Amino acid sequence: MKKISLALGILIGYLPFSAADCNQLHALLPGKVFFEPSEIYNASISSYFPLQGRLSPTCILRPESAKDVSLAVKTLARKRSTHFAIRSGGHSPNHGFSNIDDGVTIDLRSMNDIALSKDWKIARVQSGAVWGDVYPVTDQVGVSVIGGRGGTVGTGGFITGGGISAFSRRRGWGCDNVVNFQVVLASGEIVDANAAHNKDLFRALKGGQNNFGVVTRIDLMTHEQSPFLGGAILYPKEAFDATLDAFTEYMNRSTFDPDELAELSYTYVGGDQSFSLLLNTFHSGSVQSPNSLQRWTSIQPQISSTVRTTNMSKKLQPSSCKVYADLKRVMYGTTSVGISPTIMKKAYTLWEAAVNDTLSRISGMNSAFIIQPTPPPPKSFANSLGFGNAAVPEADSVIVLLAHNWDSEADSKVVEDRTYELIREINNAAADEHVEERFRYLNYAASKQKIFDGYGQASKAFLRKVARKYDPDGVFQRQVKGGFKVF
């Protein structure tokens, strides 16, 4: 149908706005604009992690430099009826967040250079790189960065959404380890945002996603990191009570260990109607012993364990280094709760009930209830996530991720409705125990969640002020439809 309408437009001397804009971009950036059914176009579409990310843009631009991005954004901003999307890794399951139907997708993945400063203290990472590209560069010289735990997760979206790392309980959010953003504004101007220049933009990009411009390079602080103890333990359902108790104790301030990070993924697999727990755990301290993860390694029974001395290149979650061509629909949803002696078991029980009463009836359903501590706020330059300097969320706040994949679009509304209902149920349980939290982690959020309300009114007002300053015509509000918007 798209080809027929395009051909008809040519015959009558009219091209749809996006087709005309694609032709203009093709003339301005020859060899970098691709149309269906070219091999590069098709490869880009098929590489999206969730099926709902595999949309049909009129064309795909593969820029190779910030100047290419600048020329493209400046051109598209003049065409107010043309919509465009920005892709770093394309990992978000939310429809239209990094791709578009009948518009222009700016696919940054050709911009994937990674360079270390001479003293190895800064890693300069173009935002088309994925974390599986970054860690081999840093590991070889004994340093690391606060980056993603999945090899195919993009650097740009991860950082501008906050970013949780294997080292986050000690070193904070990924965005708080950025020393500079290179950004293309709606005007086409290429600017740096850091603690000395464009300071308000620097703060806004730390959690404000794509509301201000296109981030083309991220300069990250490195830290010395020797091999550390970490891995995955797979438990059967018989171990669930003990692991939930261990997680509650892990969140106890009196036993707090900033070098220990645990992510617990309680999983239902519809194919065999089974429940299991995959624990990803790390202890990144310079002094390690086989007992540093004993709270987890001592729990029995276990199905398998890969806990060993490792590094980030080796520790990337095994499932992260390929695209699941067999996945159909994918949905994430999130909330946060404070810790109490009973809240984790109550939240888990609510998820299991949702599986049993609704989700298990969906064809091809796999579902996960995932919990981990919230990273600490920065000690110096603020981000936009809304935590006060005195907050200690790393010791008393838990991020909950609900993740599902299933077969048919026909079941999507049922899954979405039950997920939003489950979030409300968990929030109500937390309120009953006086441990409710307003924060919602952007990178785990469903498309209808009000993320910036969870940052607090002061932070939301700040983000709107910065958006008006750097994008006065609202290009990234109006023409870039994907992402969570501050207006």
Structure tokens at 346: 């109550």
Backbone φ, ψ for residue 142 (5° rounding): 80, 25
User: How confident is the model over 49-65, as a mean pLDDT?
Assistant: 95
Query: Is the model's pLDDT at 325 over the cut of 70?
Result: no
Q: Which of 291, 263, 288, 290 is nearest to 278 (CA)?
A: 263
> What is the overall mean pLDDT for the chain?
92
- The one-letter amino acid at 239: A
User: How confident is the model over 469-483, as a mean pLDDT?
Assistant: 97
Distance CA(276)–CA(237), nearest Å, equals: 5
Query: Is the model's pLDDT at 7 over the cut of 50?
Result: no
Residue 308 neighbours by CB distance under 10 Å: 12
Q: pLDDT per residue over 271-286, tens digit each?
A: 999 999 999 998 987 6
Q: Is the dihedral of CA 194, 459, 174, 52 positive or negative?
A: negative
Q: pLDDT per residue over 342-395, tens digit each?
A: 999 999 999 999 999 999 999 999 999 999 999 999 987 799 999 988 889 999
Query: Is the model's pLDDT at 1 over the cut of 60?
Result: no
User: 3-class DSSP state for residue 108?
Assistant: helix
How far is C-alpha 294 from the geometric centre of its chain's CA atoms? 30
Query: Is the model's pLDDT at 323 over the cut of 60?
Result: no
Residue 321, pLDDT score:
36
Contact 377, 387 (CB under 8 A): yes
Q: pLDDT per residue over 395-434, tens digit each?
A: 999 999 999 999 999 999 999 999 999 999 999 999 999 9
Q: Which of 224, 132, 207 is nearest to 163 (CA)?
A: 207
Query: Is the model's pLDDT at 14 over the cut of 60?
Result: no
Cis peptide before 290 (omega within 30 of 0): no
**Which residues fall within 8 angstroms of residue 310, CB to CB, at 6 or more apart?**
227, 228, 229, 230, 231
**Which residues fall within 8 angstroms of residue 240, CB to CB, at 6 or more apart?**
266, 275, 277, 348
**DSSP secondary structure code for residue 482 in this structure:** S
Model confidence band, residue 225 (pLDDT cutoffs 50, 70, 90): confident
Residue 17, pLDDT score:
59
Distance CA(155)–CA(162), nearest Å, equals: 11
The structural domains of the chain, ordered by start, are 17-109 (3.30.43.10), 114-224+456-478 (3.30.465.10), 228-310+328-451 (3.40.462.20)
Instruction: Specify the pTM.
Output: 0.93
Query: Is the model's pLDDT at 208 over the cut of 70?
Result: yes
Cis peptide before 301 (omega within 30 of 0): yes
Query: Is the model's pLDDT at 185 over the cut of 70?
Result: yes
Q: pLDDT per residue over 295-304, tens digit each?
A: 999 999 999 9
